[in-house]
Amino acid sequence: MVALEMQRWSYLDVVTAMHCEQISKLAAKLLNSTPGSSPFLSAYKRACSKVAKNLPKSLCQRYYVMAKEWSEKALPLRMQQQYAYRTDSSRLELT
C-alpha cells in the first residue's frame, strides 16, 4: 500500500475543477485554437482567471471553503473519480 500525500488545493484549483468545461471553451475561443494545442494551453490560465473574476462573491466564498476542505480531508468521491480519469491514475503501481 502506498501512502499518498494530501494535495493542497487552492481557490483557483477548485474554480478549475468546477468550471473546467467553461474554462476550456473560453481558452479555445481566446486564441481561436483547439484544445491541447500550444495556443490553447497558453490561454488556459488567462481563461481560468477570467472565469474566476466573474464568479459571484457567494460562490467565491464557497470555493475558498471547498479548497480548505479538500486540502484537509479527502476529495468528494465524484471529484476523486474525475481526477483519476483526467490524470490517468489507473496506471499507478501500488507497492
What per-residue confidence (pLDDT) applies to 3?
46
What per-residue confidence (pLDDT) applies to 83?
65
What does the block give as the cell for 12?
483557483
CB neighbours of residue 35 within 10 Å: 11
**Could you give the CA distance from residue 95 to residue 93 in angstroms, rounded to a whole number?**
6
What per-residue confidence (pLDDT) applies to 1?
45
> What are the domain boundaries of the chain?
11-87
Question: CB–CB of 62/69 below 8 Å?
Answer: no
Better-predicted residue by pLDDT, 19 or 90: 19
Residue 52: which H helix or E strand, with range?
A: helix 38-53
Summarize pLDDT for 21-68 with one digit per residue, the tens: 999 999 999 989 888 899 999 999 999 999 999 999 999 999 999 999
